[in-house]
Amino acid sequence: MQETPPQPAPIKTRRWNVSLVWIVPIVALLVGASLVVRNWMQEGPTLTITFRTGEGLVANKTEVRYRNLVIGQVTSIKLAEDKKSVKATVRLSKEAESFASEDSQFWVVRPRIGAGGVTGLDTLLSGSFIGADAGQSARRAEHFTGLESPPPITYGEEGKRFLLSAPDLGSLDIGSPIYYRRIPVGQVISYALDADGGSVTIEIFIRAPHDAYVTQNSRFWNASGIDVTLDAKGIRVDTASLAAMLAGGLAFRSPEYAADGPPAAQGQRFELFADEQSALAPPTGQAKFIRLRFDQALRGLAVDAPVEFMGVEFGKVVAVKLDFDEQKQSFPVMVDAVVYPDRLGPAHAKMLKALKHSPDDEMATARLIGNFVEHGLRAQARSGNLLTGQLYISLDFYPDEPAVAVDLSERPIRIPTVPGDLERVQERFQRLVDKLSQLPLESIVTNLDGNLNELRQGLRFFNRQTLPGLQTTLEELQQTLESANRTLADDSPQRQQLNQAITELRRMSRSLRELTDYLGRHPESLIRGRPKSSEP
Amino acid sequence: MTKTSELIVCEYCDAVYRKTSLARHQRSVCVRCGGVLQRHVGLTVQQRLALSVTAAILMVYAHFYPVMSIRLQGVSNSATLWDSVQILSQGSITFIALVAALTIIIAPVLQVLLLIWVLAFAMLRRRSPAFALCMRGLESLRPWNMLEVCLLGALVAVIKLAGMLDVIPGAGLIALAALSVVLIYIAGRDVRDLWDRL
């Protein structure tokens, strides 16, 4: 048996011979790909943020931080197309996806020194970074406008926002503190001019739990600066705090007469008062406008001058205008004033009740005022301060004044006026002067002049004629007196003679007495004569 | 007269020898100067191509991922290979930047691209277009590839800076290390045998 040699097994050549070494590049690729994928998975949204300047921003270096935790990085900085701003492209990390929501806020943190303190000191070392605050909106956005300064409050903080309307901003600024019973409880977060430019809306934030103290009745006032009150009790200086004095501040409280009230809702609008006194003052009530016409100049009457009724202030002047009266060809001063009848207090309330009068009824109000005018209600500009000449308007009753008809349909209601006290004095003085000027001064003076002339002539005559005569008379008188003197001297012969005469006279009187005695004893001797025997 | 293709010249002393075939772990040595003439080539063309592709992939990572990042007091900085060249170019000696770009970026990239080009055609048993130019280019690029020097420099920097700053080696550094090893392995002078094969 012959064995056939074994046939060579058929050879099959693999057409495509792939070496195992290809695993190496595949592994490299996989490792790399995993790296890429991981990076891609970690990558958050890419945002562009517009800033006014690129100060402190460096591409690939400036970080985006939230609560000082890095959540992204600036990847590039470019000038905006209009060259007015800088566009920073920011890549956020995956967990920071919520920062891409529409109402997120971004700002550049730099060292800042303000009245409220120093912030961002750490950026001196590390360089500026972009601060971020996550929004709450569900909508996503890619383009943001960076804030120029950090927002005073972040979304995480609990509290309420309110709006205040004020005629001007005063010394307030973003970050100005808000005090409740002198405790800082919030701050100003923004302000804006109203669309019509007539007032300012200030947005404030009150932190929880203090936001519960803001009630529907709360009054806000400006606590900036120093409040110096000078009254009968002395000087009182009132300030909220040094910070409020420098940086401005607000305070709020509910007035005592309306202490309780439902808590205010988020975003409620309040009026901002200039000071605590006016804020906590009772409500002014409905405003009524009146118009006054004065025929004399009113120098010293300014807008905001008080309007008083029987000495109680209840309104103020809002306009002082010069008018032209065609009929009289004169220039009266028209004064517009706003009055708040509620400020008269119980008087007003009682009057309303007594007259069954609704304050909303314009016509009834006009009739009431017309009635008052009939009883002598007049307006008068009085001098409030003699030094400065400030005037105020006083409404009072002058029953003696002639009646004036009131046009009830006119708006604002016009109240007749009487001249002011000073004007009255002036008028009287004027009348006096007028009378004086009516005197016949000319003839009086002429007569007086003639009289004086005559007087002068008389005097001249007197000088010339009478005086010399008088002189001689005086001389003679002197001589007479001298001779009288001589006569009366002790050693003068006349005196001697006189003494002798007196002695004689004494002697004579003695003999007379003797005679009468004798005669008393011997009355017969008158007839018979003296007997010889009866010698005395 | 033997064919020139069968001869080999010692590149150090110009002694001429006849080529021999070598087995694993063998090499031929010049009698006169002791320089290595030939080594056993253990890699097939396919393997070399695969490694070249690996090198290309690694190169991409080495170039796009930061080699290392440093951090101090909240300030952080990281740099890729290209960043380092850029930073050098902003320094006082711009010329150094040119040298660095040539030795750590341009030369390795060209080397890998040429290798892939030549080896890809070799796989199909064909000479690539401009084969001679490519082969000569590969040979002349070899001394300019200093990627391993760069790697050493980076490692030294990492170790020295680690005491002062927080240094984090990046993905680029690892890719760079792998790339250096692969390039040493494939871009030696063993590509010469392609002349014989094709």
DSSP strand pairing (A219-222 vs A269-273)? parallel
Q: Do B57 and A127 touch (CB under 8 A)?
A: no
Could you please report the per-residue DSSP string of A333-356?
Answer: EEEEEEE-GGGGTHHHHHHHHHHT
| CA-to-CA dists, residue A295 to A3, A214, A249, A333, angstroms | 157, 50, 46, 6
pLDDT at B190: 67
Q: Do B50 and A21 touch (CB under 8 A)?
A: yes
Q: Do A24 and B50 touch (CB under 8 A)?
A: yes
Q: Which residues of B touch A127 (CB under 8 A)?
A: 75
* Least Cα separation, residue B18 to chain A (angstroms): 32
Q: Which residues of B touch A28 (CB under 8 A)?
A: 54, 57-58, 178
> What distance in Å separates the CA atoms of residue A128 and residue A120, rounded to the nearest whole number?
9
- A43, β-bridge pairs: A93
Question: In terms of CA atoms, which chain B residue is nearest residue A36?
Answer: B61
Q: For residues A376 and A418, is the Cβ–Cβ distance under 8 A?
A: no
> What distance in Å separates the CA atoms of residue A195 and residue A201, rounded to the nearest whole number?
10
Exposure letters A379-403 (e unless 16+ CB within 10 A, then b): bbbbbbeeeeeebbbbbeeeeeeee
How confident is chain A (536 residues) per 10-residue block, as mean pLDDT?
73 71 84 85 85 83 84 87 89 83 84 70 78 83 83 75 87 82 86 87 88 86 72 66 71 79 85 80 76 82 84 85 86 87 77 72 76 84 74 84 78 81 80 88 90 92 86 92 83 84 93 90 82 61
Bond preceding residue A209 cis, omega within 30 of 0: yes
Binding-face residues of B in 153-192 toward A, CB within 8 A: 171, 175, 178
Q: For residues B65 and A31, is the Cβ–Cβ distance under 8 A?
A: no
> What distance in Å separates the CA atoms of residue B34 and residue B29, rounded to the nearest whole number?
6
What token pair was written down for A456? 């002068």
* Residue B99 touches chain A, beta carbons under 8 Å: no
Could you please report the per-residue DSSP string of B129-174?
Answer: TTHHHHHHHHHHHGGG--HHHHHHHHHHHHHHHHTTSEEEE-HHHH
* Residue B138 touches chain A, beta carbons under 8 Å: no
Residue with tokens 């360089």: A127
A25 vs B50, B65, B75: nearest CB: B50
- A418, β-bridge pairs: A380
Q: Could you read off the pLDDT tens digit of each residue along chain B, which spans 198 residues?
A: 556 777 888 888 888 888 777 777 788 888 888 888 777 776 777 888 888 888 898 888 888 888 888 877 666 777 888 888 888 888 778 888 888 888 888 888 998 898 888 888 888 888 888 888 888 888 888 888 888 888 888 888 888 888 787 788 888 888 888 888 888 887 765 677 777 776
Q: Which residues of A touch B171 (CB under 8 A)?
A: 35
Q: Which residues of A touch B74 (CB under 8 A)?
A: 122, 125-126
Q: Which residues of B touch A18 (CB under 8 A)?
A: 46
What token pair was written down for A401? 């004044």
Q: Give SS3 for A384.
A: strand
* Residue B91 touches chain A, beta carbons under 8 Å: no
* Least Cα separation, residue B160 to chain A (angstroms): 23
pLDDT at A454: 93
Q: Do B51 and A19 touch (CB under 8 A)?
A: no
Q: Do A32 and B74 touch (CB under 8 A)?
A: no
Domain segments of chain A as ranges: 24-145, 159-280, 288-421, 493-528
Do you know the residue count of chain A? 536
Q: For residues A35 and B171, is the Cβ–Cβ distance under 8 A?
A: yes
Q: Do B54 and A25 touch (CB under 8 A)?
A: yes
pTM of the full structure: 0.48
Question: In terms of CA atoms, which chain B residue is nearest residue A65?
Answer: B74
Q: For residues B122 and B198, is the Cβ–Cβ distance under 8 A?
A: yes
Bond preceding residue A6 cis, omega within 30 of 0: no
A22 vs B50, B60, B74: nearest CB: B50
Q: Which ipTM value was assigned to this complex?
A: 0.71
